[in-house]
Amino acid sequence: MKRVALFLDRDGVINIDKKYVFKIEDVEFLDGIFDLISYAKSLGYLIIIITNQSGIGRGIFSEKDFQILNNWMLDELKKNGAQVDKVYYCASHPTKGIGKYKKFDDRRKPNPGMFFEAKKDFNIDLSKSIMLGDKISDMKAGFSSGIKNLLLLSDKKRYSYSKNIKSLKDAIIYLE
């Protein structure tokens, strides 16, 4: 049986985007994220985080730094009733990456590779799933993967195939 997922970008949706967040002391969770994830889980959604992490590829922080922060964030989310099923991340950047990280990667948003990985890993029906992001690249990646329910957390940016929401509380109505 196919499953549905709520795909979430990390920086700008889970936590305030402070550009290259990799230290625990820099994390500030967005208001409403615990309730949104908890409610989505209660409706049967898988919770999947899809995040570009080019700070690794640029040499700003290491994959170990990312994993330490990621594990801490997942623990904090869980403590607050917001269980995440999986985190997919892409560390490469096609022009600003260093060494092995300087490459085109179909996993890096706006490309849909991470969504297709999740589809395979969890037997997800992408057409019935939801993508919530704060950047146009999130919307393009979701659209390219076949997701029809695209939520852009922004009152400024626009994308022709998404619905704009101003807060995470606004996203709850699209889950039902």
Residue 11 annotated as catalytic: yes
17 is catalytic: no
Instruction: List the catalytic residue out of 9, 134, 138, 170.
Output: 9
- What is the value of pTM for the model shown? 0.96
Going residue by residue through the chain, which has 176 residues, state the pLDDT in tens, using 9 for 90 and above.
Answer: 899 999 999 999 999 999 999 999 999 999 999 999 999 999 999 999 999 999 999 999 999 999 999 999 999 999 999 999 999 999 999 999 999 999 999 999 999 999 999 999 999 999 999 999 999 999 999 999 999 999 999 988 888 889 999 999 999 999 98
Choice among 11, 17, 105, 125 that is catalytic: 11
- What is the C-alpha R_g of the chain? 15
Q: Can you name the residues that pair with 175 across neighbouring β-strands?
A: none
Is 97 strand, coil or helix? coil
